Every structure is written in C-alpha cells, then in structure tokens.
Amino acid sequence: MNTNQKQTTPLSPEQVDQWENDGYLLLKGVVPESAINGVRDSFARVVDGIIRELKEDGIIEDEGSELPFETRFVQVAGEHANRFGRSWRNQVATSEVFELHYAPRLVDAIGHLTGTDVIGHPVFNARPKLPGQQLTVVPWHQDSGYFGTVSETSLIPTAWIPLVPVDETNGCLQVVAGSHRLGVVDHRTEEREGKFLEVMDELIENSRVVTCPMELGDALVFHNLTFHRSLPHTTSEIVRWAIDIRYLRDGDHPGTIYWQDPDFKWVIRSETQPITAFAQWVEMW
C-alpha cells in the first residue's frame, strides 16, 4: 500500500499477511478528525483541572488559558507534570474516549483481524509525553507482560493513536516485527523513573525494529504479544499527546479485570448482541 494513502476496508491480503507475520499494522487515516478533536478536548479538560489546582496551591500564577492544546501543559505545568502521573485513565473515561473506540474504519479493521464481533477492552491510557521527560519513556514490553500468561492465547489488539504528529524525535513508537511469535516472555520492572515493565535487551532483534512516524488520523495496531516501546521526546515545546485503546476477540480472556462488574462485556459492533451505550460503560469505572 502507498504509505500516504488512506486505509480502505476490508484490509488487503497484504495487510492480513503483515499482521500475521509481523504482529502490527500502521493504518492511515482511520480515525476521523472529529473523534481526535473530541479526545483532545477531554484531555484539555484534565489539563485545565491540573492547572487550576497548581494555581490554588500557589505554585503557578499564570494559567496560560490562551495557549493551544499542544503546548499548554508543558508551558504552564511542565516542571510539575511528574506529580500528575505518567498516564491517565479514570480521569479521561469520557464520552469522547468512549466514542473513539467506535471509529468505523478502525472497527472494520479490528473486526477483520479478530474475525468476531468487536469487543472493547477496559485498558486505555492518555499519555502526555513532555520534552525531555524520562517518566513517560516506555521501554520494550509486550502488553501481555501486564495482562499475564492467561492472555497468551487471547487476541487483544492495541490501537495507538497520536493526537499530534509524531516521529523519532518526539516520542513515536517502535515495534519489533515478528516478536508476537515468541509467546509471553519474562518482564522485570525497569530501574528508571517510570518503573514500567521491560523485557531483556537480548530478546530484541535489532534488524526487525521498525520506527513508526505517524500523522493525525493514523492508528498503529499491534498484537498483545508484539514488543513495542516509545522513544524519548527530545525536541520542541510540544507535548506528544497520544491515547492507546484496546479491543478483544469475542470470547477470549481479557487478561486482568478492571471493570466494576467482572462479567460486563463492552460490545462495540455486533449483529446479534446489544451494542453497549455510554451510560452502561461509564458505570463500570
């Protein structure tokens, strides 16, 4: 596929082969602008709350209300950002994030990969990565490193979606093509600030590392066993905003359970099961 061409559905036979052989797909233009803007708005509301808190505590004076989404968090709260964590979930369990999971072209692709109804997974993360920040540099890992070996035979595709254009200078992702064939490998807690889980360097086949620059509207979809990491953000004053969301092959074990009701099933697309409404979903947090 021409890399600048928007994804059409269904996936091409080459893409299906790439998914099977490499364990990832970079889908161009599958997330509508309206969905991206909605998610940016809901993250901007969290930033607003953080900045208000810093002002009330007398830590900052100028709230920078006129600054754009891309820069406000770093310009106003930058040196205090670490105290607000390395990723956000409950703070952004909003209708916009819910809606993002229903983006039609993305859901088409996920349904094609799973071959079942499209089911949502409870784990998603808003990830502001600030210039020069170590806390948010995520080392090589598999998502199943977090979900445990119970997820080894499950398919839990992640869709990583940038909210600003990303490349190797501002914290885009890298994947190791074909690493999903290794099963769940041992992870240890890294020594660096982020204390993320990481796999041993010896397992990384350097010749198969793929760097994934992306535009707004793109989604990088990868298997729960695919090794991936995010690079340091070394340039500019722009926050590398991104969200990672997950889906589940219907019937598979979801890995760790996060819902209030462990039997809840988040049905995103089906002809036979009732589609989950926002009101039902939001009660699960």
Closest-approach residue to ligand AKG (CB)? 230
Q: Which of 53, 87, 48 lies closest to 67, judged by CA?
A: 48
Q: Which of 156, 160, 132, 131 lies closest to 257, judged by CA?
A: 156
* Helices 104-114 + 13-22 axis angle, to 10: 60
In whole angstroms, the minimum distance from the beta carbon of 210 to ligand AKG comes to: 15
Residue 276 near ligand AKG by CB under 6 A: no
Residue 158 near ligand AKG by CB under 6 A: yes
Give the residue, chosen from 28, 101, 121, 127, that forms a contact with ligand AKG under the rule CB under 6 A: 127
In whole angstroms, the minimum distance from the beta carbon of 230 to ligand AKG comes to: 3
- Tell me the torsion sign for CA atoms 230, 226, 193, 53: positive
In whole angstroms, the minimum distance from the beta carbon of 48 to ligand AKG comes to: 22
Over the window 221 to 260, marking each residue x when it contacts ligand AKG by CB under 6 A and - when it does not, the resulting string is -------x-x-----------x-x----------------
Residue 26 near ligand AKG by CB under 6 A: no
Pairing of strands 118-120, 240-249: antiparallel
Give the residue, chosen from 129, 187, 223, 269, that forms a contact with ligand AKG under the rule CB under 6 A: 129
Name the residue nearer to ligand AKG (CB basis): 117 or 127. Answer: 127
Instruction: Give the separation between CA 203 and CA 218, rounded to whole angstroms.
Output: 28
Name the residue nearer to ligand AKG (CB basis): 91 or 280. Answer: 91
Residue 179 near ligand AKG by CB under 6 A: no
Residue 114 near ligand AKG by CB under 6 A: no
- Tell me the torsion sign for CA atoms 86, 92, 98, 99: negative
Q: Which of 117, 71, 66, 124 lies closest to 94, judged by CA?
A: 124
Instruction: Give the separation between CA 132 and CA 235, rounded to whole angstroms.
Output: 8
Residue 143 near ligand AKG by CB under 6 A: yes
Q: Where do contacts with ligand AKG occur on this chain (CB under 6 A)?
A: 127, 129, 138, 143, 158, 160, 228, 230, 242, 244
